[in-house]
Amino acid sequence: MPVAHYRVRFIKTLCDDTGHAHKCVEGVVDIRRARDRDRAVQAAKRRFERMKKIPRWGLYADTFELDIEQDGSTPNPKRAVVRVA
């Protein structure tokens, strides 16, 4: 089974003084090995919470983006975007 490298970017959407929304990266977490995408995301959330010393990642970020790289190849162009409900 191929091993994947996961990069999770935690993003907060902020408005500038003209009302335009901008995506601001609040942190990036690399997960070198995980059995699947869901486990990688859970591990990244826990690591982000420890880095920021917060109980829930949603306090600092609205969404996250996930990049998946298989066996050192180029990153998968598909990016999963997940929003906090």
Q: Tell me the average pLDDT across 48-74.
A: 87
Is the per-residue pLDDT at 85 higher than 50? no
Structure confidence by residue, pLDDT tens digits, 29-44:
999 988 888 999 999 9
Sheet of 63-70, strands arranged across? 21-31, 4-15, 63-70, 80-83
* pLDDT score recorded for residue 28: 96
**pTM, to two decimals:** 0.80
Helix ranges, the chain (H)? 37-52
* Total domain count, the chain: 1
CA distances from 73 to 28, 68, 81 (A): 20, 10, 21
**Domain with 53 in it:** 4-83
Cα separation, 44 vs 64, in Å, equals: 10
